[in-house]
A = this chain, B = another copy of it.
């Protein structure tokens, strides 16, 4: 067998990522496997290793897509330059909704770890950085006169805090802690920090 030439490498890459996204969405991160992906796109596992270094790299690209999608829905909100507080409220609310509505994929972004020693390619933390930076514009308006260093710190602390609440919401831990929704927690956080 061999040599079909039905698709270019780029095409196979995209087909694989699409298939993987569907599997994660429908069955969850831990049910994703190279064999399932290969079967879904009509190729054998070996072919995946022509296109990706390994499963970890494939997941990295998939997480990159997820981060891009989040950026796409958050970035437009920054334009609302008139009311920085409201802007931040909308950003966190959008973040929360995105995480809840793309539960499995969002989980994967935070649960996936590269094997000891291997570290992520530069473009990946860049995507995260860009997301964090989105908060800086409204925060700069809100805390005028503060140094850029201070604004950057505030943005990172705020995102991390929202993420922490969100992480607990995703594990259903909140229910056991006496809260059935993360919204009031986010509100409390923002009231304190804005």
How many Å lie between the Cα of A185 and that of B159 in the bound state?
11
Binds B, one of A35-43, A85-93, A170-178: A170-178
Chain A interface mostly: helix
Give the contact-size bracket for chain A.
35 or more
How many Å lie between the Cα of A92 and that of B156 in the bound state?
18
Binds B, one of A1-9, A11-19, A110-118: A110-118
> B164 and A179: CB pair below 8 A?
no
Among B120, B163, B172, B189, point to the contact of A157 (Cβ < 8 A): B189
Among B116, B120, B167, B177, point to the contact of A110 (Cβ < 8 A): B167
Does A102 interact with chain B (Cβ within 8 Å)? no
Among B153, B165, B173, point to the contact of A188 (Cβ < 8 A): B153
Chain B residues near A119 (CB, 8 Å)?
A: 172
How many Å lie between the Cα of A119 and that of B166 in the bound state?
19
Q: Say how far A184's CB is from chain B's closest CB, in angstroms.
A: 7
Chain B residues near A129 (CB, 8 Å)?
A: 176-178
